[in-house]
Structure 1
Amino acid sequence: MGRALAAAGALSPDLARAFAAVPRSAFLPELIWPFDMAAGRSVPVSKADAPERWHAYADDADVPIVTQWDDGEHTGPEPGEVPTSSASMPSVVFRMLQDLDLRPGHKALEIGTATGWNAALMAHRAGPGNVVTVEVDAAVAATARATVEQLGLPVRVVHGDGSHGYPEAAPYDRIIATCGLRAIPYAWVEQCRPGGVIVAPWGTHYGNGDAVARLVVGSDGRSACGRFTGPVEFMKLRAQRAAHPVHSAYVTGSVADGDETSTTVTEAEFVGDAFAPQRFVLGLRVPRCRQVVAEKRDGGRPVWLYGADDRSWACVWFRDGEAARVWQSGPRRLWDEAAAAYRWWEKNGRPGPERFGLSVTAAGQAVWLDEPVNCWNV
């Protein structure tokens, strides 16, 4: 694993020492649900029943491992409905730590303790007593605290709402979130030193995808600004979870009741794969909108858009070999907005997340393309 991560550029020499000293397997429970790439889903693996397979996932597989389902309400070995705590892919963990640029002696705050592995890696790098990690789930926090105490690691585990940061130990040189955000809490800017770094997965309501934002706090300590470094997907900060749209609340009759048009934009162009850059960009350009991509059947796939502030909706029906049909209804013309956003993306050279940046002030947040002057509020 270490050699593979280093070859992929995810494991720098300074972090390699932490990787060797702090094994992920020491922080995982007896029953885990790693993501099986071949099956395309999370599968249960018990250390007692299949120790070799358990260690293969824990020590050697670059896959995310779910450690809690349904906010702890789930029981039994089979996967639950919604994953709510996990050990992230090692490649993602170390790329984000590289973005953080944690140095010996830095004071650091982590939001989202989960197993405690990431905080332990940070403590190995920053030194004893310099890392505080905040976990919103009491049971998860207690388990992580017991683990770091048993291993004798100098990490302070706090049970609390990470959206408020942890002012008791501020100011920090570095702040990192291991959960997806839709808005960077301004409390984090206030609790980070001027020149300090905030690293967090950030995205929009459009979908579950995120991009890692690397922000630097300004010299006056009142703002933070920086670029996105690459696409990721994280479980969302519980204070910022968005409810899944209830279809029947939007479409009360037939989809044919909406205004019908068509489009030459294809399914591949508009949807792409899970980390397609257009999904990220459409979320930036079509605010307060949720996209839901249905399963493809018999050569057809509906893609739905739901407004977050009203009952506006749109449906694009892609069918192989045919122009897509479009229906939309409500005060917002969501498909028109999405089509305009897609054309904007094409006009600007189909940029990925790395060409965008994020600025955060007490008044809110804005994204920008290439330079902060090319900004709009989100």
Structure 2
Amino acid sequence: MSSGALTSDWLPSFEAVPRELFVPDRIWPGIANGTGQHPAVHRSEDPEAWWRAVHSDIPLTTQWDDGRHHGDGLGTTPTSSNSMPTMVASMLRDLDVRPGVRVLEIGTGTGWNAALLAHRLGDADVVSVEYDADVARGARRNLERAGLSPRVVEGDGREGWAEGGPYDRIIATCSVLSIPPAWLAQAAPGAVIVAPFGTEYGGEQIVRLTVSDDGTRAVGRFTGGSAFMRLRQQRTQRPPFADYLHGVPWPADGVRSTTTLSPQDTGEWFQQFVIGLAVPGAFWRAERYDDDAYTLWIYSRDKRSWASADYERGRTEYEVYQSGPRRLWTEVESAHHWWTTHGRPTHPRLGLTATPEGHTPWLDTPNHPIPRQP
């Protein structure tokens, strides 16, 4: 790959296991830097467009709405895909496999990643877990067509697959909000875990963790940005927005203040990620108006707190309202202030410690945890 994501040790596997063997006849091509999808492409109707999409460095949506969506239109939420090749290659590079290691994959999808691993390591040393039975059946067919047969298990990815452990490598092709305890329990001493790690607030980065010899923790750094579909059992259920005002017209009991921090400076993907590390249990949405103006709404998962910050182009001071036991805009502002005063660190300086009880993000070393709000 021209991007340099594909290292020479993986080249034979990518050549032997071409992507087209793992792409269905109908796909929705994505975009390289974002989460949007283009209209459906059918191999039978436009084989050149299908081939061009398959051989582009873009993700390909293969399922919407957990399989409930039908037809060629866009569904509500993409729920299975064939990942963009550079992301597949970079995560496999982070995994650092070698002959003799045993790998657990979470999220089989179309089976392409499992096929690359099986070609490199052998069928017997690769186990892949897929929650969706239809997706798992499709992956098995694809793998059989490629002449490969790693173990594909239908099950809850949070639980891994203890029968096949311990594993020297664990890789997730779906994003997680926390590292499931079962992954630590099924990891061999010194095992490597590679997973897309997201926050409820937004943003996501690939994390590469090394498991301690006693299996009680995994520690490592973030290696780069990502935008994967969430592990189904870790999807967040967001309450209706009307629940926060309790039938009282806005601003209800909201307390007014102003801020010099522009809502625009909190909305980039990585900014959302850093804020999410420091502000747990919160999420946002934007209500947009004319002339690029909008209201940034922030809500707590427990429905007890909300905040709004109004953005208008050309202003240097912005109106804020906050309600509830948490002052959510203040928390976001504090997280952003921490980030800027520490030199706006990017992923190489940020890391994570995961234990069965939870996770702690940190800056530079595990001894410097990121302050959690409130």
Is TM > 0.5 for Structure 1 vs Structure 2?
Answer: yes
Question: How many angstroms apart in 2 are the aligned matches of 1:296 and 1:219?
Answer: 54
| Other-structure match for 1:374 | 368
Q: 1:73 and 1:12, CA in 2 relative to 1: closer, same or farther beyond 3 A?
A: same
Question: How many angstroms apart in 1 are the aligned matches of 2:103 and 2:243?
Answer: 44
Q: 2:261 aligns with which of 244, 260, 265?
A: 265
Q: 2:224 aligns with which of 219, 230, 245?
A: 230
Is the Cα contact below 8 Å between 2:168 and 2:191 reproduced in 1? yes
| Other-structure match for 1:195 | 190
**Alignment map for 1:94-113 (pairs within 5 Å):** 94-113=89-108
TM-score by length of 2: 0.94
Provide Cα deviations, 1:315-368, integer angstroms capped at 9, x if missing partner. Answer: 111000122211111111101111111111111111123211111223322111
Question: How many angstroms apart in 2 are the aligned matches of 1:157 and 1:90?
Answer: 21
Is the Cα contact below 8 Å between 1:42 and 1:66 reproduced in 2? no
| Other-structure match for 2:276 | 283
Question: How many angstroms apart in 1 are the aligned matches of 2:89 and 2:283?
Answer: 30
Is the Cα contact below 8 Å between 2:102 and 2:169 reproduced in 1? yes
Q: 1:220 aligns with which of 207, 210, 214?
A: 214
- Which residue type is aligned with residue 167 of structure 2? Y
Three-state SS of the structure 2 residue aligned to 1:283 is helix
Q: 1:365 and 1:134, CA in 2 relative to 1: closer, same or farther beyond 3 A?
A: same
Is the Cα contact below 8 Å between 1:35 and 1:43 reproduced in 2? no
Question: How many angstroms apart in 2 are the aligned matches of 1:282 and 1:69?
Answer: 29
Q: 2:356 aligns with which of 362, 367, 370?
A: 362
- Which residue type is aligned with residue 155 of structure 2? G
Structure 1 stretch displaced more, 360-369 or 69-78: 360-369
- Which residue type is aligned with residue 362 of structure 2? W
- Which residue type is aligned with residue 16 of structure 1? L
Provide Cα deviations, 1:87-124, integer angstroms capped at 9, x if missing partner. Answer: 11111111111100111221101000000001001111
Question: How many angstroms apart in 2 are the aligned matches of 1:179 and 1:377?
Answer: 27
Is the Cα contact below 8 Å between 2:278 and 2:370 reproduced in 1? no
Q: Are 2:84 and 1:89 aligned?
A: yes
Three-state SS of the structure 2 residue aligned to 1:255 is coil
Is the Cα contact below 8 Å between 2:295 and 2:308 reproduced in 1? yes
| Other-structure match for 2:45 | 49
- Following superposition, the deviation at residue 269 of structure 1 comes to 1.8
Q: Are 2:23 and 1:28 aligned?
A: yes
Is the Cα contact below 8 Å between 1:36 and 1:43 reproduced in 2? no
Three-state SS of the structure 2 residue aligned to 1:13 is coil
- Which residue type is aligned with residue 152 of structure 1? G
Gaps of 5+ in 1: none
Q: Are 2:304 and 1:316 aligned?
A: no
Q: 2:143 aligns with which of 144, 148, 156?
A: 148
Q: Are 2:297 and 1:304 aligned?
A: yes
Q: Are 2:150 and 1:165 aligned?
A: no
Provide Cα deviations, 1:13-48, integer angstroms capped at 9, x if missing partner. Answer: 111111111111111111101115799533200000
Q: 1:359 and 1:79, CA in 2 relative to 1: closer, same or farther beyond 3 A?
A: same
Gaps of 5+ in 2: none
Q: 1:264 and 1:376, CA in 2 relative to 1: closer, same or farther beyond 3 A?
A: closer
Q: Are 2:13 and 1:18 aligned?
A: yes
Provide Cα deviations, 1:107-160, integer angstroms capped at 9, x if missing partner. Answer: 101000000001001111112311110000011011111221232203111111
Question: How many angstroms apart in 1 are the aligned matches of 2:89 and 2:250?
Answer: 46
Question: How many angstroms apart in 2 are the aligned matches of 1:294 and 1:214?
Answer: 36
| Other-structure match for 1:328 | 322
Three-state SS of the structure 2 residue aligned to 1:154 is coil
Is the Cα contact below 8 Å between 1:267 and 1:318 reproduced in 2? yes
Three-state SS of the structure 1 residue aligned to 2:72 is coil
Structure 1 stretch displaced more, 98-107 or 293-302: 293-302
Three-state SS of the structure 1 residue aligned to 2:123 is coil
Is the Cα contact below 8 Å between 1:214 and 1:227 reproduced in 2? yes
- Which residue type is aligned with residue 271 of structure 1? G
Three-state SS of the structure 1 residue aligned to 2:116 is helix
Question: How many angstroms apart in 2 are the aligned matches of 1:364 and 1:223?
Answer: 10
Question: How many angstroms apart in 2 are the aligned matches of 1:151 and 1:16?
Answer: 16
Q: How many residues align?
A: 368
Question: How many angstroms apart in 1 are the aligned matches of 2:58 and 2:260?
Answer: 37
Is the Cα contact below 8 Å between 2:175 and 2:196 reproduced in 1? yes
Question: How many angstroms apart in 1 are the aligned matches of 2:37 and 2:326?
Answer: 36
Is the Cα contact below 8 Å between 1:278 and 1:350 reproduced in 2? no
- Which residue type is aligned with residue 340 of structure 1? S
Three-state SS of the structure 2 residue aligned to 1:42 is coil
